[in-house]
Structure 1
């Protein structure tokens, strides 16, 4: 019996932009800022696409407004990232990099350990409940490890 097989792969577009500041810690921080800005701009583009489809047409003026909104949204998210989570991200990146240097290995375990230490440190700075500190360490570890795996496979 003859068989037909179709094979192929689906992959998302991937663009790598490398900015070398000469400092690995600063390189990772800048990379985080760029990624969060791109996420925000993509979110705004998806929302604008929805409204365009809903209206059924787009004018030159509406198109310019959409581009402006995307840029503003990206800048706003970067601002929020810097002001609210910049400190946490900086602590995490520094701890993960430190763990990598101490262990001498670059793998997902650095993210797990760095996330746990960051969660515990940030939690301990804001409360004294030991159970809450442990739970935040577990959450930080899980989030960082998941992000590492997602980043690795995309």
Structure 2
């Protein structure tokens, strides 16, 4: 029986925006904000486009709602990413080494800061710090595997 095999590679497009703020930590923070903020805004558009297609109509109210949602989601997730990237780089500079511990500390501090900005429940802040550290560490380990 004849067999066929598909072989090849798929490369995603690479977009780099270089903004020089005069400081490496600011450069990385702004870069993280822009990249993740764009992803979050795109997700918001895709989600709302799906809902409009499902309903079969679009109105100016829906369009305005989508624009507001894009800005809100982009700013929120961009800020979280910027804080995380800045914290991770700061840990690298303070510790003088680049390893998974920087991601863990950066994720924990970011989780705590974002949680503290949203609520005042100390237990929730601690849990969010643990979650942020765990997610960042897992992402770093997965990055090492690929």
Contact 2:44 2:73 (C-alpha < 8 Å) held by counterparts = no
Q: Which residue of 2 aligns with 1:104?
A: 96
Structure 1 portions without partners, runs of 5+: none
- Aligned ranges for residues 22-101 of structure 1 at < 5 Å? 22-34=22-34, 35-52=36-53, 55=56, 71-81=67-77, 86=79, 90=83, 92-101=84-93
Instruction: Write out per-residue CA displacement over residues 20-63 of structure 1, whole angstroms, 9 at most, x where no aligned residue.
Output: 2122222232223322243223321343155236539x9xxx7x
CA distance in structure 2 between the partners assigned to 1:138 and 1:99 by the alignment: 17
Q: Which secondary structure does the structure 1 equivalent of 2:92 belong to?
A: helix
> What RMSD over aligned residues (CA atoms) do the two structures have, in Å?
4.3
Larger radius of gyration: 1
CA distance in structure 1 between the partners assigned to 2:130 and 2:74 by the alignment: 26
Aligned residues: 141
CA distance in structure 1 between the partners assigned to 2:44 and 2:121 by the alignment: 34
Contact 2:40 2:77 (C-alpha < 8 Å) held by counterparts = no
Q: Which residue of 2 aligns with 1:143?
A: 135
Runs of 4 or more above 6 Å deviation: 121-125, 150-154
